[in-house]
Amino acid sequence: MAGSSNTPLSGTSTPVAPGVNGTRGGGGAAPHTDCKMVEVHGVKVASFTVNGVELICLPQVFELFLKHLVGGLHTVYTKLKRLDISPVVCTVEQVRVLRGLGAIQPGVNRCKLITRADFETLYRDCTNAR
């Protein structure tokens, strides 16, 4: 990806999947379930930090920024593949957190996360394709 050397989810540099290094149960929160709201293009979106990398909720940024630019989420996944961007699949716990925040619909049981840099690459691609 041109001009974007710090995109850890692109190509073969995908970090370990969320929750892989942690254990479930016990006291305290599961790893990678601490969600914070971050500003993207002036709007607050849900974000998790996984292995030191900020990941934002793909369905949420699709609804907020991309839905009116592309045919649907399937088009977004096609673009991600072409751009060599590999989203990270949310853990069950992360999906619960996102549903609770209203970032994804109540019936949704799967979700993917991408880096902010990868989102910007995707956004540029969607806006240039118009």
Q: What is the pLDDT of residues 68-92, one digit of tens each?
A: 999 898 999 999 999 999 999 999 9
Residue 45 has pLDDT above 50, yes or no: yes
pTM, to two decimals: 0.74
CA nearest to 48, candidates 4, 109, 110, 91 = 91
Q: Where are the domains of the chain?
A: 35-128
Q: What is the token pair recorded at 13?
A: 């540099």
Q: What is the token pair recorded at 21?
A: 């290094």
Residue 5 has pLDDT above 90, yes or no: no
Report the top-level CATH class of 35-128.
Answer: alpha beta
Q: In what order do the strands lie in the sheet with 88-89?
A: 35-40, 43-50, 53-57, 112-115, 88-89
Q: Which residues, at least 6 apart from 32, have a Cβ–Cβ distance to it below 8 Å?
A: 18, 19, 22, 48, 49, 50, 91, 93, 94
Query: Which residue in the block uniquely carries the two structure tokens 């699709």?
Result: 62
Residue 18 has pLDDT above 50, yes or no: no
Which range has the worst mean pLDDT, 24-33, 54-63, 68-77, 88-97?
24-33
